[in-house]
Chains A and B, each alone.
Chain A
Amino acid sequence: MDIWDLTYRFFSLADANVRWVVAGSMLLGGAAGGLGSFAFLQKRSLLGDALAHAALPGVGLAFLLAGRKDFLLLLLGAATTGWIGSLLVNAIVRHTKIKLDAALGIILTSFFGLGIVFLTAIQKSGSGAQAGLDKFLFGQAAAMGKNDVIVLAILGLVLLTVITIGFRRFTLITFDPDFARAAGLKVGWLQFVLTTMIVCAVTIGLQAVGVVLMAAMLITPAAAARQWTDRLPLMVALASLFGILSGVLGAYVSFLAPRFPTGPWMVVAVSAVFAFSILLAPRRGVISRVRTHLNNRRTMTRDHVLKVLFKAGQESRRWAASYPFEKISQMWSFAPRDLRRGLRSLNRQGLLKKDGRTFGLTDLGVGEGARVLRRHRLWEVYLTRFLELPEDHVHRDAEDMEQVLTPEMEELLEKLLDHPEYDPHRQEIPYVNPKEQA
């Protein structure tokens, strides 16, 4: 059967087996992604990693005690030791001078070591029934059956209900535990509930991604979702969605090639979503920030060109005089490339006229230049008069503020300062369009 047939069989969900696997993977991805948002925001991103590893001895112990592979018992064992691990991490951080990172590391390695001790002991006892226990290390979504998915669905539903009921409280203890305490919330108890839920999410995720990569299913969707929004409810929803998407992809790969471990493919999928998010998200994304930065720089160059050309003509009142490129570049510390670009764009906007090799302000340009200079000098007056800064300290600050001041703020400043005629350096403040004045 070729890959397209398999793909069709998978996505048409005709196969009952496929339906269970897809449902299970989606549940795992969704629950882990949503809960991970809280761990991510509490700077406890690696908690999931530690808990997942701490779950391993539980798997081994449950098998040793029961003597057979009972899915529910294994999950119960995993949750129990994972949960004990999380309590110990908290206890270490609270009662010793060890910080969170080392506490996580200690619990992670010693519990995982214990898990390996159990697994190797089971292997060497060689009953044969243990085959598949090591699936918990890397996950095998394809191994999920109907009963597993029912257990997962019930757990997922419980988690969803608790999250919905306690959403505001969990939000509060995540962002401002001190305020939450002052408002009478039981922060310790709520934190305990949250950690317990993360333990549950980790436990049910083990089946699909395994111990080693569980950290990614908690944190990567949350980190990706964080780039798109500043609102927590939306972030949790997005993180769940990303988790669900990668869950489906993991199940798909697992279906195509059963000998491939599922977990790594889910992690690669969700990492791709993350990379896409951190590069392309509006506002927070790297590309959008670089663009904003370039835009600011361009506006700054343009304002400076207008200002220096206006200033050059201020003495002789010949504001529209033309200057060659070299002359302009000496007026201020322009980078030649920025200046060339700035001149071209001003020319396009009709603020500058190009005359052979020389550039001069148009009428519109003179007005704009006057505005930039006016904002600069008004701000200098404001700083010396109201903040009582010495006059040799105000230039640099005004250099920044001339970019920021809006026409409304400028008007307020004018009124506040009562239309001053000169700046602190005894230089004239240009008010109306000088062209009209003349």
Chain B
Amino acid sequence: MSPDLWVILTGILAAAACALIGSYLVLRQNAMLGDAISHAVLPGLVLAFLVTSSRNVVPMIIGAGAAGLLTAYVTETLGSTGRLYRDAAMAIVFTLLFSIGVILIAVFAGQVDLDQECVLYGEIAYTPWDTVVIGGADFGPRAVWILGGVLLANLLFVLLFYKQLTICTFDPHLASSVGISARLWHYLLMTMVSLTVVAAFESVGAILVVAMLIIPGATAYLLTQRLTHLLVLSVIIGALCAVGGFYGASYFNASIAGFMAVVGGVIFGVTAVLTRWPRRA
């Protein structure tokens, strides 16, 4: 397979994994939590890196997952003191965690082979050359395996717990009355978001992750009223962004991740205008 195809496949897998889980964030009116978590995991990543002094995936996922959950938890707790609105609490928590992460990187500059810009941009273009080699056999890019795994995990999560997620999203009070803890499912969903963010942005960058968490779900939300349709549509839109972003970026010789986000914005804009059109006429 040519490197271009690998990059496109990586993009599609990342977009699909994010779109699936991000649709729930959009429906819960908590879309910016994806943005918050994707910034807040930075100190977790750095600490995991410092402790194990390697770019091993497992400690990084644990560190970042912990930081992501911490964000969700502190946001909820500060919000529930009634002293702050939840969006303000979120802004305060994630900016602080991100700052701590950047400072840690600056302090341990010699020991950390990470920089905040690679976390933000992510260079999806390099993924085809970082391959999994077992016993001399090349099994394809590492990012494809990781993102494929995340997509599979998210798919299983949504399929297995479809009922619980749906009830908790649309009617948390009903959920509590039938014995489904809305709190528990909130945090489980946040865990999945954190995992997705970590796994995805190591290879493709935070900006693409946040864009794909929010834009496909929001666009699909304009097009349908049914949750199943929305989920499928969001994955398709995510894949479209990946393909469009890749070709756009290679035409302009620019960042692929950035261009995927731009394509997402354009798709949303066109959809928003077209769905408004019939009503105006």
User: Which residues of A are in contact with B by a Cβ distance under 8 Å?
Assistant: 40, 43-46, 48-49, 92, 95-99, 101-121, 124, 134, 137-138, 212-213, 215-216, 219-220, 222-223, 226-227, 257, 259-261, 263-265, 267-268, 271, 274, 278, 284, 286
Q: Identify 8 residue pairs between A and B in the complex whose beta-carbon atoms are under 8 Å apart, listed by A's number.
A: A92-B272, A96-B276, A107-B265, A112-B207, A113-B257, A222-B88, A261-B102, A264-B102
B87 surroundings in chain A (CB, below 8 A): 43-46, 101
Find the residue from A92, A104, A110 having the highest chain B CB count within 10 A: A110
The 10 A-B residue pairs whose C-beta atoms are closest, nearest first, are: A110-B265, A113-B261, A116-B258, A216-B95, A109-B211, A264-B99, A105-B214, A120-B255, A45-B88, A267-B99
B45 cross-chain contacts in A, Cβ below 8 A:
none
Chain B 1-38 residues near chain A, CB threshold 8 A: 26, 29-32, 34-35
Query: Is the Cβ of A120 less than 8 Å from the Cβ of B218?
Result: no
Whether A105 touches B92, Cβ cut-off 8 Å, given contacts A110-B266, A264-B100, is no
Complex partner residue of B99 from A119, A137, A263, CB under 8 angstroms: A263
Residue in contact with B215 in the complex, picked from A44, A106, A119, CB distance below 8 Å: A106
Contact A212 B98 (CB under 8 A): yes
- Structural contact, B258 and A220, CB atoms closer than 8 A: no
Bound Cα distance from A318 to B95, whole angstroms? 66
User: What chain A residues lie within 8 Å of B215 (beta carbons)?
Assistant: 105-106, 109-110
Contact status A265-B262, CB under 8 Å: no
In the complex, whether B91 has a CB less than 8 A from a CB of chain A is yes
Which chain A residues lie closer than 8 Å to B109 at the CB level? 259
With CB as the reference atom, state the residue of chain A lying closest to B85.
Answer: A43
Please determine whether B211 and A213 come into contact, CB atoms closer than 8 angstroms.
Answer: no
Chain A residue contacts of B116, Cβ below 8 A: 137-138
| Distance between Cα atoms of A216 and B98 in the complex (Å) | 11
**A49 to B91, Cβ gap below 8 A?**
yes
Q: State how many angstroms separate the Cβ of B124 from the closest Cβ of chain A.
A: 12
- Looking at A109, A110, A226, the one whose CB has the most chain B CB atoms below 10 A away is A109
Rounded to whole angstroms, the CA-CA distance of A48 and B88 in the bound complex is 11
Of A109, A111, A121, A138, which one neighbours B254 at CB under 8 angstroms? A121
With A and B bound together, what is the CA distance between A223 and B260 in angstroms? 35
Q: Which residues of A contact B100 (CB under 8 A)?
A: 264, 268
Q: Could you tell me if A101 and B31 are in contact, using CB atoms closer than 8 angstroms?
A: yes
Q: Is the CB of A108 within 8 A of B35?
A: yes
At the interface, is chain A mostly helix, strand, loop or mixed?
helix
Q: How far is the CB of A43 from chain B (nearest CB, A)?
A: 5
B positions within 8 Å CB-CB of A: 26, 29-32, 34-35, 39, 78, 81, 83-85, 87-92, 95-96, 98-100, 102-103, 106, 109, 116-117, 120-121, 207-208, 210-211, 213-215, 217-218, 221-222, 249, 252-255, 257-262, 264-266, 268, 272, 275-276
From the candidates B96, B262, B272, name the one contacting A110 in the complex (CB within 8 A): B262
Expressed in whole angstroms, the minimum distance between the Cβ of A134 and any Cβ of chain B is 7
Measured between C-beta atoms, what is the minimum distance from A417 to chain B in Å?
A: 37
Task: State whether A105 and B265 are in contact (beta carbons under 8 Å apart), knowing that A97-B222, A212-B39 are contacts in the complex.
Answer: no
Q: Which of A48, A134, A223 has a CB less than 8 Å from the CB of B84? A: A223
Say whether, besides A98-B222, A110-B266, A219 and B214 are in contact (CB < 8 Å): no
Assess the A124–B265 pair: CB atoms within 8 A. no
Q: Which B residues touch A109, using CB under 8 A? A: 35, 207, 210-211, 214-215, 261, 264-265
B250 to chain A, nearest CB (A): 12
Chain B residues contacting A48 (CB-CB under 8 Å) are: 91
Given the complex, which residues of A lie within 8 Å of B259, measured CB to CB?
113, 117
The contact of B252 among A44, A117, A119, by CB within 8 Å, is A117
A217–chain B nearest beta-carbon distance, Å = 9
B276 contacts across to A, CB distance below 8 A: 95-96
In the assembled complex, how far is the CB of residue B12 from the closest CB belonging to chain A, in whole angstroms? 17
CA of A260 to CA of B102, assembled, Å: 9
Residues of chain B within 8 A of A44, CB atoms compared: 87
Further pairs besides A92-B272, A113-B211: 16, Cβ < 8 Å: A45-B90, A98-B272, A101-B29, A101-B30, A105-B32, A109-B215, A109-B261, A110-B261, A113-B208, A117-B255, A117-B262, A259-B109, A264-B106, A267-B96, A267-B98, A271-B92
Minimum distance in angstroms from B88 CB to a CB of chain A: 4
B242 vs chain A, min Cβ distance (A) = 13
Instruction: Give the residues in chain A near B207, CB-CB below 8 Å.
Output: 109, 112-113, 116
Q: Closest approach, in angstroms, between the C-beta of A365 and any C-beta of chain B?
A: 38
Q: Which residues of A contact B85 (CB under 8 A)?
A: 40, 43, 45
Report the Cα distance A260→B211, complex, angstroms: 29
- Give A107 to B31 CA distance when docked, in angstroms: 12
Q: Indicate whether A99 sits within 8 Å of B99 (C-beta atoms), given known contacts A45-B87, A109-B264, A117-B254.
A: no
- CB–CB B35/A98 < 8 A: no
A106 contacts across to B, CB distance below 8 A:
214-215, 218, 264-265, 268
| With known contacts A102-B31, A213-B95, A286–B81 Cβ distance under 8 A | yes
Tell me which residues across on chain B come within 8 A of A120, comparing CB atoms.
121, 254-255, 258
Assess the A216–B92 pair: CB atoms within 8 A.
yes
| Closest A residue by C-beta to B22 | A105
CA–CA, A238 and B3, complex, Å:
55
Cβ–Cβ contact A116 & B255, under 8 A: yes
Contact among B89, B103, B260 for A113, CB-based, below 8 A: B260
- Nearest Cβ in chain A — how far from B109, in angstroms? 8
Query: For residue A118, which residues in chain B have a CB less than 8 angstroms away from its CB?
Result: 254
Task: Give B77 Cβ to nearest chain A Cβ, in Å.
Answer: 10
| B92→A99 contact, CB < 8 A | no
Question: Cβ of A284 and Cβ of B83 under 8 Å apart?
Answer: yes
B45 to chain A minimum Cβ distance, whole angstroms, is 15
- B residues less than 8 Å from A114 (CB atoms): 258, 261-262, 265
